[in-house]
Structure 1
Amino acid sequence: MTVLFVTGTGTEVGKTVATAAVAALADGPVAVLKPGQTGVAPGEPGDVAEVLRLTGRDLTVRELARYPEPLAPDTAARRSGLPPVGPGQVAEAVAELAAEHPLVLVEGAGGLLVRYDDEGRTLADMARAAAALGLAPAVLLVASAGLGTLNTTALTAEALRARGLDLRGVVIGAWPAEPDLAMRCNLADLPTVAGAPLLGALPLGAAAVGGEPFTAAARAALAPALGGTWDAAAFTAAHAVAPPGR
């Protein structure tokens, strides 16, 4: 049984696509949990629906709370008058899903320390609550490719270490066909600042088509630790940049 919390270095970095990619390559039953969905009205498809579309698999999906405004979960809950979702509720849902699924993926909102309630509890607190139940959760960090990602990756990794949480690795959520200098250099630097391996680089636009084409793209873009064939060393070497004057 594996419980993997998926967080990002910020918003719109590709967490949902990364969650779907891991789910698409997993063996056996997979459950995907979204603790708090924001910016989606009742009846509209949210992130778990997108994961289903992309994978084309019969997954177990669950959403614990939904708020219509595209805000941080605590703000969205307060403005909507709806109850927030807390760490205990999430941990109980994870435990229930883990009893019947070898892999449980928990996709957060925004970054690791986005607040979910007025007490300031975060996805990290949810992971710690799951750990307290003996579920041994790990965290997968989805990072942006370009300038600025080293700082946000380092800050997230430091926050995880301070809370005793295991950072399994980093996945670049959207790798462009023509990466710039910073992106190419970041391939070597990301695992250093994270203190964890680089486990993939999903191609920009991978979410355009679901089903088998998406699964094939995921397999080529994720490392064996996540079910794929991607080679971090080879990919980094292929994009290496010689220092000036050499």
Structure 2
Amino acid sequence: MSVLVVSGTGTEIGKTVVTSAIAAAAVAAGRSVAVLKPAQTGVGPDEPGDAAEAVRLAGPSVTGVELARYPEPLAPDTAARRSGLPATAPAEIAEAAARLAETHDLVLVEGAGGLLVRFDEAGHSLADVARLLDAPVLVVAPAGLGTLNSTALTAEALRARALTALGVVVGSWPTAPDLASRCNLADLPRVCGLPLLGAVPAGAGTLPPPLFRASAPEWLAPTLAGTWSAPTFLTTWSPPPYTPTGP
């Protein structure tokens, strides 16, 4: 696997931190890594974007590349149109990823929001990028109520397009998970038909970078160069037995 596309089921669910953790685990395993952010939205010209955040967390040996930046926090297509800047076409993204793959062992392509968020007026999305690259897609999902539906829909969209779905990582696992989160942990693989490949703790992105890098492999399964075990994690966080509360 030289290129991995990282998609979320929505926004603000920990996709950048998961991407950073995968990069850190790969570097710890001796691989050279690049993180490609095709379209950065909602960030000012002098502010660090997601690619820079991945470099900060995963380490200076990681190559961070951003293709386009739009000031408003909107879908890339909308943000491009409103700013008067050119949109980012899937062919351009795939070409940039392929160039990076020539000099790096692993290229992580981090999308914007969900799988089918539009990059241009023609309606192209991250799914088109994955098809051009013939690259697997990792789905980052939230832990709580509602994630079963959004993750299942994302998995269904990948299968409908004959794209390879690598698995699911929970982007922000709560310190004190509620019943829904604990049940979802067991239900996600069954509902979406994809393996669970990790759970990144909430607040991981605020850790000092050296601690983040040292801890990252513990959050990810061996498929992602980590040591995390789904059966062990599921046993630890299995939901309590049902207890009737009514008369």
TM above 0.5: yes
- Whether the 8 Å contact between 2:55 and 2:63 is mirrored in structure 1 is no
Query: How large is the RMSD of aligned CA atoms in angstroms?
Result: 1.2
Give the superposition deviation at 1:245: 4.5
The residue correspondences of 1:47-126 to structure 2 (distance < 5 A) are 47-126=50-129
Aligned with residue 140 of structure 1, among 138, 141, 144: 138
Whole-Å separation in 1 of the counterparts to 2:187 and 2:20 = 26
Instruction: Report SS of the residue matched to 2:24.
Output: helix
- Whether the 8 Å contact between 1:53 and 1:210 is mirrored in structure 2 is no
Whole-Å separation in 2 of the counterparts to 1:169 and 1:93 = 24
- Whether the 8 Å contact between 1:141 and 1:167 is mirrored in structure 2 is yes
Whole-Å separation in 2 of the counterparts to 1:85 and 1:221 = 32
Instruction: Give ranges in structure 1 of 5+ residues lacking alignment.
Output: 132-136
Whole-Å separation in 2 of the counterparts to 1:198 and 1:108 = 20
Normalised TM-score (structure 2) = 0.94
Aligned to 1:32: 35
Whole-Å separation in 2 of the counterparts to 1:46 and 1:234 = 35
Whole-Å separation in 2 of the counterparts to 1:36 and 1:187 = 31
- Whether the 8 Å contact between 1:56 and 1:210 is mirrored in structure 2 is no
- Whether the 8 Å contact between 2:40 and 2:49 is mirrored in structure 1 is yes
Aligned to 2:222: 224
Residue 13 of structure 1 aligns to which amino acid in structure 2? I
The number of residue pairs the alignment matches comes to: 241
Instruction: Give ranges in structure 2 of 5+ residues lacking alignment.
Output: none
Normalised TM-score (structure 1) = 0.95
Aligned to 1:10: 10
Deviations 1:113-157 (A, max 9, x none): 0011111110001111112xxxxx111110000000000000000
Single out whichever of 160-169 and 203-212 deviates more from structure 2.
203-212
In percent, how many aligned pairs have the same letter?
63
Residue 2 of structure 1 aligns to which amino acid in structure 2? S
- Whether the 8 Å contact between 1:142 and 1:171 is mirrored in structure 2 is yes
